[in-house]
């Protein structure tokens, strides 16, 4: 299950992604917003990311105007590694190297076609582990309040 979330600016893109053909067998749960009325992105980010951390959902896909505000909010949820991506390479390697569990998209930055490609590659790329696991462990250590130096 994939958690979806957006603010009002990301709402049209999120709606398009919900209609994305289910070619890779993915089910979505939408954590809002549910109308195009003003809705602040931190609320959607926290709701969707809490569902990832609880295990209800495997990953989150979040949309706002730039993809940035909602990614900053998502990264405040302990255990979330959120990446704002607008190119294929970044969406692929934030999975392969960072084990990102949240993809953030800017509805005012990219088109629907590219967004669907980024979702597909993000959801189908495996984390490579190895030396990258060491780095992810360091990120989690910072989150836990440890000093790396």
Determine which residue in the list 11, 31, 39, 41 makes contact with ligand RB5, applying CB under 6 A: 41
3-class secondary-structure state, position 6: strand
By beta carbon distance, the residue nearest ligand RB5 is 69
Cα–chain-centroid distance for residue 136? 16
> In the sheet where 59-64 sits, what is the strand order?
28-30, 2-6, 59-64, 102-106, 82-84
Catalytic residue among 49, 57, 63, 64: 64
Number of residues in contact with ligand RB5, rule: CB under 6 A? Answer: 8
Output the DSSP codes for 49-115.
Answer: HHHHHHTS-SEEEEEESSSHHHHHHHTTSTT--EEE--SHHHHHHHHHTT---EEEEETTTS-HHHH
What secondary structure letter does DSSP report for 25?
-
Position 9 contacts ligand RB5 (CB under 6 A): yes
In whole angstroms, the minimum distance from the beta carbon of 119 to ligand RB5 comes to 18
Task: Judge whether 97 counts as a catalytic residue.
Answer: yes
Determine which residue in the list 26, 42, 68, 136 makes contact with ligand RB5, applying CB under 6 A: 68
Determine which residue in the list 4, 7, 30, 33 makes contact with ligand RB5, applying CB under 6 A: 7
Q: Which residues pair with 104 in a beta bridge?
A: 62, 84
Position 101 contacts ligand RB5 (CB under 6 A): no
- The H or E element spanning position 13 is helix 11-18
Q: Which CB sits closer to ligand RB5, 36 or 129?
A: 36
Position 65 contacts ligand RB5 (CB under 6 A): yes
Position 66 contacts ligand RB5 (CB under 6 A): yes
| Residues known to be catalytic | 64, 97
Binding site for ligand RB5 (CB under 6 A): 7, 9, 41, 64-66, 68-69
């Amino acid at each position: 299950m994939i958690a979806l979330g957006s603010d009002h600016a990301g709402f049209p893109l999120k709606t398009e992604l919900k209609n994305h053909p289910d070619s890779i067998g993915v089910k979505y749960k939408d954590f809002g917003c549910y109308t195009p009325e003003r809705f602040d992105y931190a609320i959607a980010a926290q709701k969707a990311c809490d569902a990832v951390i609880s295990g209800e959902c495997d990953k989150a896909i979040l949309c706002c105007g730039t993809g940035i505000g909602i990614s900053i909010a998502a990264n405040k949820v302990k255990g979330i590694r959120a990446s704002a991506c607008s190119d294929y390479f970044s969406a692929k390697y934030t999975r392969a190297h960072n084990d990102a569990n949240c993809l953030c998209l800017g509805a005012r930055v990219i088109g629907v076609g590219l967004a669907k490609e980024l979702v597909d590659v993000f959801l189908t790329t495996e984390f490579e582990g190895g030396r990258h696991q060491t780095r992810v462990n360091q990120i989690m250590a910072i989150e836990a309040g440890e000093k790396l130096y």
